[in-house]
Amino acid sequence: MSSYDLLREAKALIDDKEVLDLSRQLIRIPSQSRHEAAVGKFIFQKLDKWGLQPREIKVDGNGPDVVAEIGRKKAPAIAFNGHMDTVEVMTGWRHDPYDATVEKGMLYGLGALDMKCGLAALMVAFKAISESGHLDSSRVVFQAVSGEEENSSGMRALLAKGELKNVKAVIVGEGFGGLAALTHGRRGGFYWDVNVTGKAAHGASPHLGINAISDAAKVVCALDSMRLRKARWLAADDSTPLTESQTVLKISGGMSSLSVPEKCYVKVIRCPLPGSGGPKEVQAKIEKKIEGLHLRSKVEMTLQEGPGDIFYPHVTPARSSLVSTACKCVERLTGKRPRLVIGRSEADDNLIAHKLGTPIICLGPGESGELAKYHQAEEAVHIDQLGNAARAYFMTALELC
């Protein structure tokens, strides 16, 4: 089948209204992290009604993941992946966050951008591929996961169960900038606890003690002054050159009595660039910076290593089959080739790329500039993207197959 035959088939099998209606149905089901069971049940029932034989994967502390597959068993697969959970309802909504209102070509609702419209487009594309009958020697899998907004617990469950074995490429249906942008990598995220220990003394005689808060403040200033790397050859999702970032997330200390505080705690995150060293190399640089302060307090830096604490950066090469095919398919649909960008925040795709080395992209309905209200009130997406997103998934998967 030629590329243009595939385009015609995508337009014939995928209806814009079906993707919009399914998006609205998903938005109307509240699914904040740890409360995804209801939306998961809806997705399971929808896939089952379509004859796609879904399964549930248990996720501790969250609703179950929902998975399905079509095509030849054990064949190399293309995976469609998206998360079901949303953040909490932020203040400032004018529209009902669960009403899924369409107004002036925009669909408003919690999760419209992040990422129920993308999930709906993946589902419709998955059904269309099944109906197309083109999978005699290949396979496509669908995965709706829970817990992405917290610690990627749903994705960790899929990896532990081996649900991504023999997957040769992954398409995540979350768009940053809509179909005008294709995210082919992400920065990482490393978190540390920094404990500063001074010496207690009576608050009226501070010279007899060592103030942990004062020394922690010097640590914070030193962290803020560190020189961070810039990758001018990579674009962030706002099209500016990609840079590392480092943020102090929390500082706490002090005593209720009139005493010199002997302890202070600082939490810090470094978001490294693809190609950067691992957390041990980054920690060594930070510790060297702190040592140069010659503080009287003792400073101990500990890497957080629990679930959701370490996300390694990654890039799927621009010349890879996955990236080049997806770009070509979007260009056929929209007339414009998407720009390639690197996501600033960590997500489930960091885990897939690091654990399996599998090529992965994020592509789907999304917004940029002032309309990019991810994790904000009045989250909304232009509805004219929805059908083409599903068609892009359909065409990309079948071309790769």
Q: Tens digit of pLDDT for each residue in 336-364?
A: 999 999 999 999 999 999 999 999 999 99
Residue 32 has pLDDT above 90, yes or no: yes
Residue 199 has pLDDT above 90, yes or no: yes
When pLDDT is cut at 50, 70 and 90, the band that residue 395 belongs to is very high
Q: pLDDT digit string (tens) for 162-177?
A: 999 999 999 999 999 9
Residue 277 has pLDDT above 90, yes or no: no
Q: What percent of the chain has pLDDT over 90?
A: 96
User: How far from 297 is each of 71, 197, 205, 294, CA to CA, in Å?
Assistant: 62, 5, 17, 9
Q: What share of the chain is helix, strand, coil (3-state, %, to 5)?
A: 35, 25, 40
H helix runs in 14-152, sequence order? 16-27, 37-49, 117-132
Which three-class secondary structure state does DSSP give residue 216?
Answer: helix
pLDDT at residue 238 in the model: 87
Does residue 364 contact residue 389 with C-beta atoms inside 8 Å?
Answer: yes
For residue 108, the number of C-alpha atoms closer than 13 Å in the C-beta half-sphere is 14
When pLDDT is cut at 50, 70 and 90, the band that residue 293 belongs to is very high
If you average pLDDT over residues 116-130, what whole number do you get?
A: 98
When pLDDT is cut at 50, 70 and 90, the band that residue 136 belongs to is confident
189-303 is a CATH 3.30.70.360 domain: yes
When pLDDT is cut at 50, 70 and 90, the band that residue 121 belongs to is very high
Q: pLDDT digit string (tens) for 372-384?
A: 999 999 999 999 9
Residue 1 has pLDDT above 90, yes or no: no
More confident residue, 39 or 308: 39
When pLDDT is cut at 50, 70 and 90, the band that residue 398 belongs to is very high
At residue 163's C-alpha, the angle toward residues 161 and 169, to 5°, is: 145
What pTM does this model have?
0.95
If you average pLDDT over residues 248-256, what whole number do you get?
A: 95
CA distance 110 to 92: 12
pLDDT at residue 194 in the model: 98
CA-closest candidate to residue 358, choices 183, 167, 184, 187? 167
Burial of 311 (0-12, 13-18, 19+ CB in 10 A): buried
When pLDDT is cut at 50, 70 and 90, the band that residue 56 belongs to is very high
Q: pLDDT digit string (tens) for 317-340?
A: 999 999 999 999 999 999 999 999
The domain segmentation of the chain, as residue ranges, is 3-186+313-400, 189-303
Q: Which amino acid is at 294?
A: H
First to last CA, the chain: 12
Cis peptide before 115 (omega within 30 of 0): yes
If you average pLDDT over residues 44-59, what whole number do you get?
A: 98
pLDDT at residue 177 in the model: 93
If you average pLDDT over residues 78-101, what whole number do you get?
A: 98
> Class for domain 3-186+313-400, per CATH?
alpha beta
Q: Which two tokens stand for residue 342?
A: 């690197």
CA distance 305 to 310: 6
